Amino acid sequence: MSGITSPIALVTGANRGIGRATVEELARRGHDIVLTYRSHADEAAEAVRAVEAEGRRAVALQLDIADAAAIEPFVAALRAALHETWGATTIDALVNNGGMGATTTLGTTSVQVLDELFATHVRGVYLLTQALAAPAEDDPLLADGGSIVNLGTGLTRFVHVGRDAYAAMKGAVGVLTGYWAQELGPRGIRVNTVAPGPVETQFSGWVGDDTLRKVFADATALGRSSVASDIAGVIATLVEPGAAWVTAQRIEASGGYRL
**Helical segments of the chain, H only:** 17-28, 41-53, 71-86, 111-118, 124-133, 164-184, 210-218, 228-239
Closest alpha carbon to 215 in 195, 231, 198: 198
d(CA 141, CA 139): 6
Closest alpha carbon to 75 in 134, 152, 16: 134
Instruction: Using CB atoms within 10 Å of the CB of residue 76, give its burial: 0 to 12 exposed, 13 to 18 middle, 19+ buried.
Output: exposed
- Is residue 126 annotated as a catalytic residue, yes or no? no
Residue 221: Cβ within 10 Å count: 10
d(CA 231, CA 237): 10
- Alpha carbon distance, N-terminus to C-terminus of the chain: 38
Please answer whether residues 203 and 197 qualify as being in contact, where contact means their C-beta atoms are separated by less than 8 angstroms. Answer: no
Beta bridge partners of 250: 193
Could you say which of 126, 166, 179, 257 is catalytic? Answer: 166
> What residue type is 180 in one-letter code?
W
If phi over 0 gives left and psi between -120 and 50 gives alpha, with beta otherwise, what is residue 34? beta
Give the residue numbers annotated as catalytic, written as ranges: 166
